[in-house]
Amino acid sequence: MKEIYTKTGDKGTTSLKGGVRVPKDDIRIETNGMIDLLNSHLGLVRAAVAEKDVKEFILSLQKELMIIMSHVATPQGIENQKELHCASLVAKMEEKIDSMPHPDGFVIPGENQLSSQIHIARSTARTVERRLWTLNDKYGVKEEILVFFNRLSDYLFTLAEKYSK
């Protein structure tokens, strides 16, 4: 990053990839803001988890979120060259989900701090998913991204349950 502030957003606009200016409340900007929030929550989870394999997997999810954000910020008609890894990560999440115990009913978060933090990440992932569907209606979103977020919230649900014991 060359500069922390540019003053170009002081009038309520920001740039998409390629320099296209849009209002700061554009659905693409709102969606990326929610993905950024999710990434921050996942960072807290990663910092709190002790198991190396879980830390590494969460980091891989965080890196994918950054790639997805670049796709969200790419205007129609411009090709994004960053390769998505959503499909392979979905397969890994499904393996992990299938290997963890599933609760028998509704879950009320709050058993401990780590589990609760994972639930916050899970509910943020659901918010991102809703924003992506709104974005999809207006601009289109790659199906693999939509599937990724649906499975991500499922994975985080089972991970939170794993750490609630």
Do residues 46 and 62 touch, judged by C-beta distance below 8 A? yes
Q: Is residue 34 part of a domain?
A: yes
SS (H, E, C) 26-92: CHHHHHHHHHHHHHHHHHHHHHHCCCHHHHHHHHHHHHHHHHHHHHHCCCCCCCCCCCCCHHHHHHH
31 within a domain of the structure (yes/no): yes
- The count of domains in the chain is 1
pLDDT tens digits, the chain, 165 residues: what are they?
577 777 767 778 888 887 788 878 899 999 999 999 999 999 999 999 999 999 999 999 999 999 999 999 999 888 899 999 999 999 999 999 999 988 877 888 999 999 999 999 999 999 999 999 999 999 999 999 999 999 999 999 999 999 998
CATH number, domain containing residue 24 = 1.20.1200.10
- In this prediction, residue 14 carries a pLDDT of 82
Q: List Cβ<8 Å contacts ≥24 apart for 55-59.
A: 57/92, 57/96
Count CB atoms within 10 A of the CB of residue 147: 14
8 occurs within a structural domain: no
Residue 153 lies in a domain: yes
Any domain includes 13: no
d(CA 4, CA 1): 7
Residue at 4 is within a domain: no
What does the block give as tokens for 7? 């003053």
The pLDDT of residue 133 is 98
pLDDT reported for residue 153: 97
**Which amino acid is it at 122?**
R
Residue 57's domain comprises: 20-74+81-162
pLDDT for 5 equals: 75
- Decide: 80 and 70 in contact? Cβ < 8 Å: yes
Q: In Å, how far are 3, 16, 50, 107, 111 from 132, measured between CA atoms?
A: 29, 16, 32, 25, 30
Q: Does residue 11 lie within any of the structural domains?
A: no
**pLDDT recorded at residue 1:** 57
| pTM of the full structure | 0.92
- On whether residue 9 sits in a domain, the answer given is no
